[in-house]
Amino acid sequence: MPVVLRSLSDFKKFLRKPGATLHIVQNTFVDRQDAASQAAYRRKGLYEPRTLRAMSKKAAIFDVKGHDTTVWLYWDRGTRNWRFSGDTVTVPLHATLGPPDAVVYRCVLPETGARRAQRRPAAASKSPEAVRPGL
């Protein structure tokens, strides 16, 4: 089942699902930096997948894959400007200087064995021997 987000409530429900992961698709602030700064952000794990560690009414704490660090995402202020579209969430960055920036997150659920089995054609998965063993 694909991820479809329409609101902050949907986003919070998504985060509570086992294996829910956030991937940064775009960060306009980092995109405007020089190549050396972009490389430093990547080394620090900016674009690595994030999984939920804990959540409160006002924020979520994420573990960053491959790094011994946590990242916080607050939603206690200004979520009116968040945009939800399919499996992406766009979060504006509020900085006092420069042009408006945003981070775009893709929300991903792990593919389970049941989902993989549903994708196989029914005729290929059931042979006559499998349906009536021993005959």
Residue with token string 């939800």: 84
Mean pLDDT across 111-129: 52
Does residue 132 surpass a pLDDT of 70?
no
Query: Residue 119 has what pLDDT?
Result: 53
**Two tokens at 3?**
């991820």
Instruction: Report pLDDT digits (tens) over 3-53.
Output: 999 999 999 999 999 999 999 999 999 999 999 999 999 999 999 999 999
Instruction: Report pLDDT digits (tens) over 62-117.
Output: 999 999 999 999 987 777 789 999 999 999 987 777 788 999 999 999 986 545 55
Are the beta carbons of 27 and 46 closer than 8 angstroms? yes
pTM across the whole model: 0.77
Residues 6+ apart with CB under 8 A from 30: 37, 38, 41, 46
Query: Residue 102 has what pLDDT?
Result: 94
Does residue 135 surpass a pLDDT of 60?
no
Instruction: Report pLDDT digits (tens) over 30-39.
Output: 999 999 999 9
Is the model more confident about 122 or about 61?
61
Quick one: 48 exposed, middle or buried, by C-beta within 10 A (0-12, 13-18, 19+)?
A: middle
Give ∠ CA 94-96-98 in degrees, rounded to 5.
95
